Every structure is written in structure tokens, then in C-alpha cells.
Structure 1
């Protein structure tokens, strides 16, 4: 079976850099610049530190914006592919509307990504939730409550 063929229980989920993350990086850079100037540090130290803050913020923004888009395919049989390459140990975690995925590529390197609400609409979020391998079960553990 080809990886581009997705069964009824499978999912094809695109990933791209989030505008929310890019906006947050801009805001954090501006706040760091304001904090530098509000710190009552001598001007001789404030100017170079301000330049460093701006350079680091712009670099972080460019790196995040330049991350290449890809497509995660999870077939009904549990096989996962990223841009047509099979991946191992796919794990998906959820924190509210955010979805986090981690896997190992063919070279054994760990890869990660996060889908924010602007990059993963609710329909795709449901598809990913249904197609992703289920995590470790919490059944059978001891309860804190008596």
C-alpha cells in the first residue's frame, strides 16, 4: 500500500509555520527590548544589549518562518509518513487546542512539531485525534483519592 493512500480511518494532516507563533516572537522581542531599556542599566550597556535583543529576535523569527511545510499521513494500519518517508514511534499529545507530534526519522533523529489553531482547523484536529496512535493508558494506576 502506498503512503499517499489513506484509508477511512487514516488522516492526511498538513503542517506549516503558525502565524500565532510568529506574532508571539515579535511581541516577545519588543517586550525584551522594553525590559532592557526599563532596567535602569547604564546606557553604555543598554545599547549593545538592545542590539543583541533585536538581532536574536529577528533571527528566531526568520528561523521559525523558514521551517519547511510538510504533510503527516497516518494510515488506518497505524503506519505514519512525513512527506512520503516512513517514520517510527509517532506520538501525538494534546494541550487544549494545540497538538504536538514527535517521531523518529529514518536516521533515528527525533523530530517534533506543534499545530496551533491557525494551522489545524477543527475538522483536521478530529481527523488527527482519531488516526493518531493512542498514548499509554492510565487504567490500572493507583488513585490518590481514597
Structure 2
């Protein structure tokens, strides 16, 4: 019979989200349009619109150029291990936030640098979302037996 410990590790791959890149580019274009249609003088509106559109495209391209990575986590208070092409990073103080189909994971490495990963619905499927929620719910303190209280 296989051990359940091997299946308790949460392993999730991360890749850049096309949906997020499209949203960033769209927000940049909408900001440009709003500046162009505002009551700003043309000498401020046009450069501001070009800057907003350019910044949105820059953010979208930067999002798409990030290298894929993977995360391995036992859950609870345990450290997570972030595997990127430049090596393995141990993350302490891991926090996970789930908002419907969106998920974020953050933790700090040994040098105090914060690492954040955000999953959008096109990169975090239902099975991975469930696995992340289960790992998030694990607390090693809850595995300790409760002491009987005097009646």
C-alpha cells in the first residue's frame, strides 16, 4: 500500500498568464483613452495617453517574459520550495490567498526578499486550486492531540 506522505506534497507549476497580460495591456489602453478624452489640454493629454498606453504594453510584455517555475509545499507552517531555472529557493512564512479562481502565494527567502506568485484561471486549473487550498488548510499544530480538560 502506498504511503500517503508522498501525496501530501503540494506541487504546482506556475507560468505567465495570458489573461493577465491582456488585462494589463487593456488597462493601459483604457487609461490612454480616458486621458485623451478628458479635459486636459492637448499638451498634457497626448503625452499622458502615449505614456499610459506604452506602460500597459510594457507591463504585459514583462508578464509574458517571466520564466516558468514550480512550487513544492507541505502546507501549514512548513517552508515552500520555489524551483526556477536559476536554482532552488526556500521560502519561509508562506501565505496563500484564494479569491475564487485567483490565487496568490507569497513567502520570504533567507535574505529577506519576498517572492510572490499569482495564478489566474488560465494557469491554475480546478485540481491545482483544490490542492493549494488543501495545503493552505494544513496546520501541523492541529495534528497534536487535545488534552482532556477537568470536568
Does 1:21 find its partner at 2:20? yes
- Residues 1-146 of structure 1 mapped to structure 2, 5 A cutoff: 7-75=6-74, 78-83=78-83, 84-132=88-136, 134=138
Unaligned regions of 5+ residues in structure 2, if any?
140-151
Tell me how far apart the structure 1 counterparts of residues 73 and 39 of structure 2 sit (CA, whole Å): 53
Whose RCO is larger (CA < 8 A, sep 6+)?
Answer: 1
Number of aligned residue pairs: give it.
130
| TM-score, with structure 2 as normaliser | 0.76
Secondary structure at 1:91 match in 2: strand
Query: 5+ residue gaps in structure 1?
Result: 1-5, 136-146
After TM superposition, give the deviation of residue 79 of structure 1 in Å.
Answer: 4.0
- 1:88-116 deviation line (CA, Å, top 9, x unaligned): 11111211121111101121211112111
Answer 1 or 2: which has greater helix percent.
2
Instruction: For 2:95 and 2:42, locate their aligned partners in 1 and report how far apart those are by CA, in whole Å.
Output: 49
Q: 1: CA distance between counterparts of 2:60 and 2:112?
A: 28
